């Protein structure tokens, strides 16, 4: 059995910035434990002599000339913003109000 606990899932959810309810935490804990048990077998064949593959078709570095090219206008870039102020994305406070 894996060591997936509700506390671990709560921690992972905070890292992933998802405000899960207690009910979601409980059901996810059980589901994740089951999923992790079934996928942990990858380590059976991953011996040290096997190289890792991160990309299916290897490419060398892809370069292009450093030239100014057409890109989104400010209006286009801001067109989907939930809130804007002038030419900027408006976000909530970065720090707690008390600080």
Partner 1 sequence: MPELIHLSAAELAAKLASGEVTSVEATQAHLDRIAAVDGDVHAFLHVSDTALDTAAAIDARRAAGEELGPLAGVPVAIKDVLATKDMPSTSGSKILEGWLPPYDATVVARLRAADLVPLGKTNMDEFAMGSSTEHSAFGPSHNPWDLTRTPGGSGGGSAAAVSAFEAPLALGSDTGGSIRQPAAVTGSVGVKPTYGGVSRYGAIALASSLDQVGPVSRTVLDAGLLHDVISGHDPLDSTSLTDEWPSMADAARRGGTGEALTGLRVGVVRELSGENGGFQAGVKQRFDETVAALTAAGAEVVEVEAPSFEYAVAAYYLILPAEASSNLARMDSVRFGLRVRPDSGPATVERVMSATRDAGFGAEVKRRIILGTYALSAGYYDAYYGSAQKVRTLIQQDFAQAFDKADVLISPAAPTTAFELGSLVDDPLAMYLNDVTTIPANLAGIPGMSIPMGLAPEDGLPTGLQLLAPAHADARLYEVGAAIETMLTDAWGHDLLSQAPLLKEAVK
In angstroms, give the least distance from the CB of 85 to partner 1. Answer: 13
Residues that bind partner 1 (CB under 8 A): 4, 8-9, 12-21, 24, 28, 31-32, 34-36, 38-47, 50-57, 59, 62, 64, 72, 76-77, 79-83, 89, 91-98
Phi and psi at 88, nearest 5°, equal: -130, 155
Closer to partner 1 by Cβ: residue 53 or 87: 53
| Residue 85 β-bridge partners | 88
The candidate with the shortest Cα–Cα distance to 36, out of 81, 64, 1, 82, is 1
What does the alpha-carbon distance between residue 80 and residue 89 come to, in Å, rounded to a whole number? Answer: 10
What does the alpha-carbon distance between residue 28 and residue 22 come to, in Å, rounded to a whole number? Answer: 10
In angstroms, give the least distance from the CB of 77 to partner 1. Answer: 7
In angstroms, give the least distance from the CB of 50 to partner 1. Answer: 4
């Amino acid at each position: 059995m894996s060591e997936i606990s509700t506390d671990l899932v709560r921690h992972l959810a905070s890292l992933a910035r998802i405000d899960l309810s207690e009910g979601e935490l409980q059901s996810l804990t059980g589901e994740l434990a089951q999923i992790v048990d079934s996928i942990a077998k990858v380590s059976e064949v991953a011996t040290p002599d096997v190289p890792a593959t991160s990309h299916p078709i290897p490419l060398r570095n892809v370069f292009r000339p450093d030239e100014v090219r057409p890109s989104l206008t400010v209006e286009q870039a801001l067109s989907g913003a939930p809130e804007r102020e002038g030419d900027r994305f408006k976000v909530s406070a970065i720090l707690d109000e008390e600080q």
